[in-house]
Amino acid sequence: MALINLPAFADALLADFESLGALRVDTPVIQPAEPFLAMAGEDLRRRIFMTESETGESLCLRPEFTIPVCLRHIEAVTGTPKRYAYLGEVFRQRREGGNEFYQAGIEDLGDTDTAAADARAVSDAMRIVANRVPGRSLSVTLGDQAVFEAVVGACGLPAGWQKRLIHAFGDQKHLQKLLTELAHPRTVGVFGPEVVRLSMDGLLEDEDRLVAHVAATMEATGYSTNASRSPQDIARRLKEKMELANTRLDRRTLDQVAAFLALDVPLADAPAALFAFAQKSGLKIDDALARFDARVAALSKAGSDIGAIRYRAAFGRPLDYYTGLVFEVELAGTHAVLAGGGRFDRLLTLLGAREHIPAVGFSLWLDRIEKAIASEGGAQ
């Protein structure tokens, strides 16, 4: 496998990381695949390069650094807060070509002042990119998954629907498809005559009877609970399907969700726009809005160019582990993402940390930055 050349500005980039108080770490190129498959979402799952160990363990070429850096922190049993920097090769299939490329970035683990940590991540990403392409204007898109989750929760949807909508955040087509389903729910018949009969017999409203019925059916048909889901799992899934199929949002609530997703304003105007939305819709999202306002204030305090940042309520990034802030940095007038990141407060616990560790970070796409530098006539 022919590896690409390290960008000429790598040494200067590492000096930037050091000046920002980030400790340089490295992780093995070969990684266990399971954490990526479980945590990073379908977008990444479809594009990683898999292999196996001699014992049959699923392995993969390192597709990104966030999960390996978090695993390294957990294994090292070090305290927080900790700020880690990384620079190295990652491997994944990309539409613009090239399966091997360099990525760098910073992961901020354990800072309980989430507004300040979020602001630091955005500000540092903007500053580092600006240092590479001086004189060029940047364009930053910022979203907030936590605000979206608050809106969905305030609508009173069943947990199953909330989970589906949150999972689709950032994928406009998928999200619109789900909202269309909520406007026009399917009939129970879509799940077959047997499910309809169970509903008519009242079994779906009596969990004990439903579990007993499923168990008896499995026994009669020769299904083994060791080789398939348990009667309880199947009963729970049947009830969830019926609930999802019969849930319908009224037109007013759907219009409110659509109005929220349509918000696209300069960041300086975003707190007022979100407050106006909450007032008009009557949705109780005060806690999420307070956290959003605190982040905007922290960005201003950090000296960030607020004028370069735009808030889009529907904006998300295609990795399942984000929980709050999400952002991307581009050169103004282009569509090439040079840096991107966000908050991932649940990730370390899911990876095995014994205590909750808040986390935020960003990655830099060095090949794209190199192209931007080349278009200006020289490396920085």
Kindly report the backbone phi and psi dihedral angles of residue 32, in degrees, each rounded to the nearest multiple of 5, phi listed first.
-65, 135
CA–CA separation, 235 vs 244, rounded Å? Answer: 14
Give pLDDT, residue 97. 64
Give pLDDT, residue 252. 86
CB 311 within 8 A of CB 265: yes
Place of tokens 């004990």: 208
Task: Report DSSP state, residue 369.
Answer: H
Q: Which residues of 21-33 are buried (b: 16+ CB within 10 A; e: fewer)?
A: ebeebebeeebbb
User: Alpha helix (H) ranges present in the chain?
Assistant: 10-19, 34-39, 42-45, 66-76, 114-132, 145-154, 159-167, 172-183, 193-200, 207-221, 231-246, 251-261, 270-281, 286-301, 347-350, 366-376
CA–CA separation, 137 vs 40, rounded Å? Answer: 31
Give pLDDT, residue 195. 52
CA distances 302 to 115, 119, 189, 289, 328, Å, are: 11, 7, 56, 20, 18
Please provide the distance, in angstroms rounded to a whole number, between the alpha carbons at the two ends of the chain: 28
- Other residues' Cβ atoms within 10 Å of the Cβ of residue 40: 20
Handedness of CA 109, 20, 62, 372 (dihedral sign): positive
Give pLDDT, residue 1. 43
Q: DSSP string spanning 55-101?
A: T--EEEE---SHHHHHHHHHHHT--SSEEEEEEEEEE---TTS-SEE
Give pLDDT, residue 261. 95
Give pLDDT, residue 2. 43
CB 330 within 8 A of CB 308: no
Mean pLDDT by 10 residues, the chain (380 residues): 71 95 96 90 81 91 96 91 96 78 96 97 96 93 96 87 87 88 60 52 65 72 60 69 65 90 97 97 96 97 93 90 95 91 96 95 95 71
CB 87 within 8 A of CB 10: yes
Give pLDDT, residue 95. 64
Q: DSSP string spanning 307-321?
A: GGEEEETT---S-TT
Give pLDDT, residue 217. 74
CA–CA separation, 30 vs 285, rounded Å? Answer: 43
pTM score:
0.83
Residues paired with residue 50 on neighbouring β-strands, in sequence order: 60
Give pLDDT, residue 267. 97
Q: Which amino acid is at 191?
A: F
Token duo for residue 350: 């899911």
- CATH class held by domain 10-147+312-376: alpha beta
CA distances 82 to 25, 119, 219, Å, are: 12, 16, 54
Give pLDDT, residue 346. 94
Domain layout of the chain by residue ranges: 10-147+312-376, 188-246
Beta-carbon contacts of residue 8 (< 8 Å; ≥ 6 apart) = 370, 379
CB 358 within 8 A of CB 351: no
User: What interhelical angle do 172-183 and 251-261 show, nearest 10?
Assistant: 170
Give pLDDT, residue 192. 47
Kindly report the backbone phi and psi dihedral angles of residue 157, in degrees, each rounded to the nearest multiple of 5, phi listed first.
-75, 150
